[in-house]
């Protein structure tokens, strides 16, 4: 009896705790593969986000230190006027206020993307017709120009026209010299632009009658 016990122990089937679990190893490999896939997906998503952000250009028109009178005294903050555009017919003007300059610029960019205006461009990167925009005491007149003229404008109006993708245009500032009002007046003028085809459709006439 004593001799048979070692043999029985040697021939005994090992328990589940003694055998390494193959299923656990497969699960670990699958989790590693999933982790790699998630990393690749994150990289692709980050690249796409960077490409979308790279399409938009941002220019700071003005940064001013402003104050607000409260119960305990004056609260100082910064105001940033930012113009956002893709130079393909879309442009926006935003204003941001924050306790630091970086935060104000970031808020201005977000506000500018919310107030986008689509501008109809001709094949010579000009505007189709003359337009006049007004905001507050500022008034801006823009009119198309021949190829090679360039952007004849100044101040915040020039920034708005350049980021809209307009290469040949004549602009004149009338009235107030405030950068914010002039930028918004330029936005109003650009929003009023219509192509000849859209004008003919609104008036219910043919395109030939407009040119004649």
All domains in the chain, ordered by first residue:
57-197 (3.30.230.10)
For residues 143 and 132, give the distance between their C-alpha atoms in angstroms, rounded to a whole number: 9
pLDDT, one tens digit per residue, over 170-181 is 999 999 999 999
pLDDT of residue 40: 59
Q: How confident is the model at residue 210 (pLDDT cuts 50, 70, 90)?
A: confident
For residues 168 and 166, give the distance between their C-alpha atoms in angstroms, rounded to a whole number: 6
Q: What is the dihedral of CA 4, 10, 11, 14, to 10 degrees?
A: 140
Q: Structure pTM?
A: 0.71
Number of neighbours of residue 112 by Cβ within 10 angstroms? 24
DSSP reduced 3-state for 147: coil
Which helix (H) or strand (E) covers residue 49, if one does? helix 22-55
Q: In Å, what is the CA distance from 153 to each residue of 65, 89, 137, 170?
A: 27, 18, 18, 7
Tell me the pLDDT of the chain averaged across its residues.
83
For residues 180 and 74, give the distance between their C-alpha atoms in angstroms, rounded to a whole number: 24
From its phi and psi, is residue 73 left (phi > 0), alpha (psi between -120 and 50) or beta?
left
Q: What is the dihedral of CA 50, 80, 167, 151, to 10 degrees?
A: -160
Q: Which residue has the higher pLDDT, 168 or 212?
A: 168
pLDDT of residue 147: 93
For residues 182 and 139, give the distance between their C-alpha atoms in angstroms, rounded to a whole number: 7
CB of 113 closer than 8 Å to CB of 92: yes
Q: Look at strands 73-85 and 57-70 and give their pairing.
A: antiparallel
CB of 140 closer than 8 Å to CB of 178: no
């Amino acid at each position: 009896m004593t001799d048979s016990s070692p043999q029985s122990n040697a021939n005994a089937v090992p328990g589940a705790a003694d055998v390494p679990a193959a299923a656990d190893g497969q699960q670990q490999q699958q989790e590693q593969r999933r982790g790699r896939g998630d990393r690749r997906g994150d990289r692709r998503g980050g690249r796409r986000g960077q490409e979308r952000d790279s399409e938009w250009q941002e220019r700071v028109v003005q940064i001013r230190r402003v104050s607000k009178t409260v119960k305990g005294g004056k609260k100082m903050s910064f105001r940033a006027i930012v113009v956002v555009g893709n130079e393909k017919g879309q442009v926006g003007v935003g204003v941001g206020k924050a306790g630091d300059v970086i935060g104000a610029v970031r808020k201005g960019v977000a506000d500018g993307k919310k107030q986008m205006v689509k501008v109809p461009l001709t094949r010579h990167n000009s505007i189709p017709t003359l337009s006049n925009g007004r905001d507050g005491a500022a008034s801006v007149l823009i009119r198309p120009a021949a190829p090679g003229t360039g952007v004849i404008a100044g101040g915040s109006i020039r920034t708005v026209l350049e980021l809209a993708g307009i290469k040949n245009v004549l602009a004149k500032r009338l009235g107030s010299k405030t950068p914010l009002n002039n930028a918004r007046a330029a936005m109003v003028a650009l929003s009023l632009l219509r192509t000849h085809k859209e004008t003919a459709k609104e008036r219910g006439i043919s395109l030939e009658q407009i040119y004649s």
